[in-house]
């Protein structure tokens, strides 16, 4: 098979076709500051610098997609939160102050275009032009309940599900409408593939009954606006609602920490069969242990194991189980890509 471009490779997998080899995609946001050699504030608020960092990351490692952005604080800031920056190139911006202080504040939420969002959109355009659309430049859309916990606080949002459900529903409706508008804005820029954190779909945080009321309806409304695009959903927690997501959500692919949670890649494959789902599995590498603390050989072994487990039918993307840390050794990122090139070539087992 002839070598594909990254765009051809990734879309082949998401369309349930066999690519030339297993794609490698990391949720690599803040690592762009390191690759540009600048501090995080400058990277997060300057579209040209953000594009430079992501392009350096792309060219240095040969990954199959980039995701402009700087993390959760960037998205939450659209709703009025305050962002805390650290004076380094490694530390992710944090939410310094929430915006929903009391339940009545939920209905006062509104969108504001911030430097962080403007930088991400500008970087998207620059990268797409520089790569001639041969590499996916992924957009971001966030589950409304996940976003609610960022702009209110986790404990306060959980409390509102019990004590102030009406006010919380008002807030979730506003967030959903704004998220749909942001989807439209990104699609207008040519974005075809989206990354969707659904990080509160976890039984560590919410019961199935709670998520059925406060999570699923709003997630599905956002996904309605994305139905003609590809969406990679990401779930977190030690007990993610992976079964619910695979059964009920119209996702192209799903990512979770398969090396550190209740469910392995094999479990994900079994769920696909149980629910007759064609969702593509994304993962295989431990972003907290192997990628940061392991050797390149450790990364190779883990990546090869994942490929041998679930890549045989072509419906697999090699990745970490969450964001790629800015302190990840370069040689380990390179090892992941090189392993996919060597052991992930189709038909699987053809070593080059």
User: DSSP for 11-79?
Assistant: HHHHTT---SB--B----STHHHHHHT--HHHHHH-HHHHHHHHHHHHHHH--S-B-----HHHHHGGG
Q: According to the model, what pLDDT value does residue 351 have?
A: 55
Cβ contact 254:281 at 8 Å: yes
Q: In the block, which residue shows the tokens 């749909």?
A: 180
Give all domains of the chain, ordered by start, each with its CATH number.
6-343 (3.20.20.210)
DSSP label at residue 157: H
**Among the residues of 215-317, which ranges form H helices?**
216-224, 242-248, 265-274, 290-293, 296-310
Mean pLDDT along residues 18-33 = 96
| Residues of the chain above pLDDT 70, percent | 99
Q: In the block, which residue shows the tokens 């606006």?
A: 225
Q: In the block, which residue shows the tokens 């603390």?
A: 293
| Residues of the chain above pLDDT 90, percent | 96
Count the residues in the chain. 352
Bond preceding residue 347 cis, omega within 30 of 0: yes
Q: According to the model, what pLDDT value does residue 227 have?
A: 80
CA distances for 294 relative to 151, 249, 290, 331, 342, angstroms: 35, 34, 4, 10, 20
Mean pLDDT along residues 241-268 = 97
Q: Tokens for 61?
A: 């490692």
Q: Over 80: is that where the pLDDT of 352 sits?
A: no
Mean pLDDT along residues 319-332 = 97
pTM of the model: 0.96
The mean predicted confidence, pLDDT, of the chain is 96
1 pLDDT tier (thresholds 50, 70, 90):
confident
Cβ contact 322:259 at 8 Å: no
d(CA 306, CA 251): 21
Neighbours of 132 (CB within 10 A): 9
Residue range 147-183, pLDDT digits in tens: 999 999 999 999 999 999 999 999 999 999 999 999 9
17 class by beta-carbon count within 10 Å (0-12 exposed, 13-18 middle, 19+ buried): exposed
Residue range 309-325, pLDDT digits in tens: 999 989 999 999 999 99
Q: According to the model, what pLDDT value does residue 337 have?
A: 98
318's enclosing H/E stretch is strand 316-320
Neighbours of 154 (CB within 10 A): 12
350 pLDDT tier (thresholds 50, 70, 90):
low
Of 243, 208, 252, the C-alpha closest to 10 is: 252
Residue range 75-132, pLDDT digits in tens: 999 999 999 999 999 999 999 999 999 999 999 999 998 999 999 999 999 999 999 9
């Amino acid at each position: 098979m002839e070598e594909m471009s990254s765009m051809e490779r990734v879309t082949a997998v998401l369309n349930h076709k066999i690519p030339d080899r297993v794609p490698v995609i990391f949720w690599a946001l803040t690592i762009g500051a390191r690759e540009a050699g600048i501090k995080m504030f400058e990277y997060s608020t300057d579209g040209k610098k953000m594009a430079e960092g992501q392009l350096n990351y792309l060219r240095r490692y040969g990954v199959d997609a980039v995701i402009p952005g700087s993390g959760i604080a960037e998205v939450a800031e659209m709703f009025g939160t305050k962002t805390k920056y650290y004076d380094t190139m490694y530390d992710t911006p944090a939410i310094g102050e929430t915006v929903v202080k009391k339940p009545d504040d939920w209905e006062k939420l509104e969108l504001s275009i911030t430097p962080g969002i403007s930088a991400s959109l500008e970087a998207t355009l620059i990268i797409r032009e520089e790569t001639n659309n041969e590499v996916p430049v992924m957009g971001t859309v966030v589950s409304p309940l996940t976003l609610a916990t960022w702009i209110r606080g986790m404990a306060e949002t959980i409390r509102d599900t019990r004590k102030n459900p009406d006010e919380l529903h008002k807030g979730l409706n506003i967030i959903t409408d704004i998220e749909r508008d942001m989807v439209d804005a990104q699609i207008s820029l040519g974005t075809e593939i989206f990354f969707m954190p659904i990080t509160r779909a976890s039984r560590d945080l919410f019961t199935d009954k709670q998520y059925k009321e406060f999570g699923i309806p709003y997630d599905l409304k956002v996904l309605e606006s994305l139905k003609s695009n590809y969406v990679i959903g990401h779930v977190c927690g030690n007990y993610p609602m992976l079964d619910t997501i695979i059964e009920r959500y119209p996702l192209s692919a799903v990512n979770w920490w398969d090396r550190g949670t209740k469910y392995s890649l094999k479990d994900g494959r079994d769920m696909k069969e149980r629910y007759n789902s064609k969702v593509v599995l994304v993962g295989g590498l431990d972003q907290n242990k192997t990628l940061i603390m392991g050797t390149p050989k450790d990364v190779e072994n883990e990546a090869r194991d994942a490929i041998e487990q679930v890549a045989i039918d072509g419906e697999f993307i090699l990745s970490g189980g969450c964001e790629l840390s800015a302190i990840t050794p370069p040689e380990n990122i390179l090892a992941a890509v090189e392993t996919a090139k060597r052991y992930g070539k189709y038909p699987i087992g053809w070593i080059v």
